[in-house]
Amino acid sequence: MKFSILTLFPEVIEAYVSASIVGRARQKGVVSIEAINFRDFSTDVHRKVDDSPFGGGSGMVLTCQPLESAYESLLPLQQPARVLMTTPTGRRFDHRFALELSEAQHVVLFCGHYEGFDERIKTLIPEMEEVSIGDYVLTGGELPALSIVDAVTRLLPGAVQKFTSVEADSFYDGLLDYPHFTRPAEYKGLKVPEVLLSGNHAAIEQWRKAQALERTRRLRPDLLES
């Protein structure tokens, strides 16, 4: 799978995707990740990529030309492909969305900045989908893009050493994860549940399923409804 991230801050992208699970997946060739500075595609003499909004108001707006030109430099995309714009107005990113993206061969991510994008870019690139990671506003789209890359990469075969650990994660089966414990068996009077020390794997599995269901019911009942 290939990720192409269009950003004003490629150094932010590179720092993250060079480390941990994503970095190792990249080294093994499970995933290819490129950070493209769309400022490099500006035809403005000062490499300007933003301008003041028509109608007045605070802030600046990303202009169409650098974004469109940067995108065109990627064509043709490896198919199947998905083209995403990080924006508060987009579809909420969740595990189901991550699974959809894991089936793609090429994912392009536009990182927003300032007051966002000139609305016409959505017409110029009609295949573009809007995506949001939550109901809050960040300085730029780099963190949302990295969240998407991370969530999707760990779903790819070979990215995580034991895929069973991915299958046990929260949301994979629609529930939150069960509680985890490690050594020592007792710490400051707090003991690990006896069932986890029993060696009875059937009982442990039953306990974990019950804990996952109860935790989901208590903390995220909306997941049970869906």
Give me the active site residues, please. 88, 115, 154, 169
Name 109's Cβ contacts closer than 8 Å, sequence gap at least 6: 3, 4, 5, 6, 84, 85, 86, 141, 145, 148, 149
Using CA atoms, how far residue 15 sits from 26, 39, 105, in Å, is: 13, 19, 23
* Rounded (to 5) percent helix, strand, coil in the chain: 40, 20, 40
Rounded Cα gap, residues 224 and 226, in angstroms:
5
In contact, 212 and 175? CB cutoff 8 Å: yes
